[in-house]
Amino acid sequence: MPNPSWLRAAALTTVLVLSVTVAGCDSDADDKDEDLAAQELSWKDCPAPSESQGGGEAPSALPNDDQWQCATLRVPLDWDEPKRDTIGLALIRAEASGAKEKRIGSLVFNFGGPGSSGVASLPAFANKFAHLRTRYDLVSFDPRGVGRSAGVECLSDEQLDEYFQQDATPDNAAERRTLLEDTKAFNSACEKNSEKILPHLRTTDAARDLDLMRQVLDNNKLHYFGISYGTELGGVYAHLFPKKVGRTVFDAVVDPTRNPEQRSLGQAKGFQLALDNFAEDCTSKQEPCPLGNTVQDVKDRIARLLKDLDSKPIPGAFPRELTQTVATGGIAQALYSQDYWEYLTKGLQQAYAGDGTVLMLLADAMNGRNENGEYSNIAAANVSINCADSKPRYTTADVEEKLPQFREASPLFGDYLAWGLLGCTDWPVPGAVDDPDVSAAGAAPILVIGNTGDPATPYEGARKMVDELGKGVGVELTYRGQGHGAYGNGNKCVRDAVDGYLLDGRVPSTGQVCS
Please pick, among 200, 223, 239, 484, the residue that the annotation labels catalytic: 484
On the 0-12 / 13-18 / 19+ scale of CB atoms within 10 A, 342 is exposed
| DSSP code for 390 | B
Q: Which helix (H) or strand (E) holds 58?
A: none
Nearest to 109 by CA among 101, 117, 100, 98: 117
Please pick, among 194, 228, 376, 410, the residue that the annotation labels catalytic: 228
Spatial neighbors of 428 by CB under 8 A, at least 6 apart, are: 187, 188, 190, 191, 195, 198
Contact 197, 75 (CB under 8 A): no
Give just the sign of the alpha carbon dihedral 485, 202, 137, 116: negative
Spatial neighbors of 158 by CB under 8 A, at least 6 apart, are: none
The SS3 of residue 448 is strand
* Distance, CA of 340 to CA of 348 (rounded, Å): 12
Distances (CA, A) of 1 to 9, 55, 336, 457: 7, 22, 11, 7
* Distance, CA of 260 to CA of 273 (rounded, Å): 20
Please pick, among 209, 251, 255, 454, the residue that the annotation labels catalytic: 454
Q: How many CB atoms lie within 10 A of CB 510?
A: 14
The answer to whether 376 is a known catalytic residue is no
Torsion of CA 334, 149, 377, 138, to 10 degrees: 20
The answer to whether 28 is a known catalytic residue is no
The SS3 of residue 408 is helix
Residue type, 430: P
On the 0-12 / 13-18 / 19+ scale of CB atoms within 10 A, 63 is exposed
The answer to whether 454 is a known catalytic residue is yes
Active site positions, annotated: 228, 454, 484
